[in-house]
């Protein structure tokens, strides 16, 4: 595997395309396999989580490379605008290899999303605070509107 190319910027809730470049460097064809795509909030991908997508990787002949486009949906989680990506090639371990340690790769860039729920911004109508009696709120959808 050569690279997982990730765009630097995108708009929340619009699809974005990553590209995976895979190459065969052995003396034999690779046979078809799978790759697992990971996404983590922040600047570091966590390969210990569940993958967000599994991709079919076709058979590659010796010294052949192929670029596979990967289209994914975008959304900000809990006001986090930045996302790291990583990929594990041959995620099902079906290909015979001399070196299994080169199957994971992090993305070329951190994807930075812009959108309504990508950052916690101050109230546009400040100062509009007035003293009130505190009231308990039920957990659920309202918790999504609160910044950490």
HEC readout, the chain = CCEEECCCEEECCCCEEEEEEEECCCCCCCCCEEEEEEEEECCCCCCCCCCCEEEEECCCCCCCEEEEEEEECCCCECCECEEEEEEEECCCCCCCCCCHHHCEEECCCCEEEECCCCCCCCCCCCCCCCCCCCCCCCCCHHHHHCCC
pLDDT of residue 54: 95
Phi, psi (rounded to 5 degrees) for 144: -75, -20
pLDDT of residue 65: 93
pLDDT tens digit string along 89-141? Answer: 988 777 766 666 778 899 999 999 998 888 776 666 666 666 667 677 666 65
pLDDT of residue 107: 95
Q: Tokens standing for 42?
A: 């922040």
pLDDT tens digit string along 42-96? Answer: 999 999 999 999 999 999 999 999 999 999 999 988 889 999 999 999 887 777 6
Q: Minimal CA–CA distance to 119: which of 67, 89, 73, 82?
A: 82
Q: Minimal CA–CA distance to 18: which of 114, 125, 110, 143?
A: 110
In the chain the first and final C-alpha atoms are separated, in Å, by 38
């Amino acid at each position: 595997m050569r690279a997982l190319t990730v765009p630097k910027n995108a708009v929340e809730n619009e699809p974005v395309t990553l590209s995976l470049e895979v190459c065969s460097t052995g003396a034999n064809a690779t046979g078809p396999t799978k790759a697992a795509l990971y996404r983590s909030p922040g600047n570091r991908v966590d390969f210990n989580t569940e993958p967000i997508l599994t991709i079919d990787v076709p058979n590659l002949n010796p010294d052949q490379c192929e670029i596979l486009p990967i289209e994914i949906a975008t959304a900000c989680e809990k006001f986090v605008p930045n996302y790291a990506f990583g990929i594990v090639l041959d995620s099902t371990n079906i290909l015979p290899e001399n070196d299994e340690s080169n199957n994971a790769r992090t993305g070329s860039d951190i994807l930075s999303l812009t959108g309504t729920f990508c950052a916690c911004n101050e109230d546009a109508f400040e100062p509009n605070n007035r003293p009130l009696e505190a009231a308990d709120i039920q957990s659920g959808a309202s918790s999504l509107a609160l910044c950490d």
